[in-house]
Amino acid sequence: MVQEASLPWPRVGVGAVVATPDGYVLLQRAGKHGGGLWSLPGGALEPGESLIACAVRETLEEAGVVLRDARLLPFVSEDIFPQQHWVTHYVCGETSDRPRIMEPDKASGLFVGWPDEFPPALFAGLPQLIAQGYLRANSSVP
C-alpha cells in the first residue's frame, strides 16, 4: 500500500463502457491529467449522485449520447497519480446514437472501435478492463 501524506482524500470516479454497433467509445484526453491518452467517457461522482447516474451524465456531457441499459461492472480500479488518488467504478451500457466530442477542452479525439483496434496509449483502468474480458472484440456489452 502506498502511504502518501500529501495526497488529498481519494476521489470517486466513474468510467462508462459505451457499446455501439461499431465498437466502444473512447475519447482522447486533453489537459494535464492524462493528456493524449485514450479513455472511456467518465468523470467524478457528484455528491448525492449514483454511480449509474454519473455514467449516464458524463456520457451525455462528453460524447453526446444517451447510455441505455446501464449497469455496474464488477470491476474497480485504484489509481494514484501525482497529487491525485482515484477509486474508479465502471458502468457498462449501450447506445445507438452517434458519439461526438462535446467538450473539446477536455477531449481532443474520438475513437469508436473494438479492443484489437484501440490506439496504444490507454488511460488508467482501461488495459485492466480489456485484460479481464470486460471489453471484447466485435461484441455487445459484457
pLDDT, tens digit, for every residue of 102-115? 999 999 999 999 99
pLDDT at position 73, please? 95
N residues, the chain:
142
Q: Examine residue 138 and state whether it is found in any structural domain, yes or no.
A: no
Q: How confident is the model at residue 1 (pLDDT cuts 50, 70, 90)?
A: very low
Pairing of strands 23-29, 11-20: antiparallel
Pairing of strands 42-44, 11-20: antiparallel
pLDDT at position 55, please? 98
Q: Examine residue 4 and state whether it is found in any structural domain, yes or no.
A: no
Total domains, the chain:
1
Q: Examine residue 112 and state whether it is found in any structural domain, yes or no.
A: yes
Q: Examine residue 137 and state whether it is found in any structural domain, yes or no.
A: no
Q: Examine residue 2 and state whether it is found in any structural domain, yes or no.
A: no
Q: In this model, does residue 4 exceed pLDDT 60?
A: no
Question: What CATH number is given to the structural domain containing 124?
Answer: 3.90.79.10
Which range of residues forms the domain containing residue 115?
11-131
Distance CA 130, CA 124 (A): 12
Q: Examine residue 81 and state whether it is found in any structural domain, yes or no.
A: yes
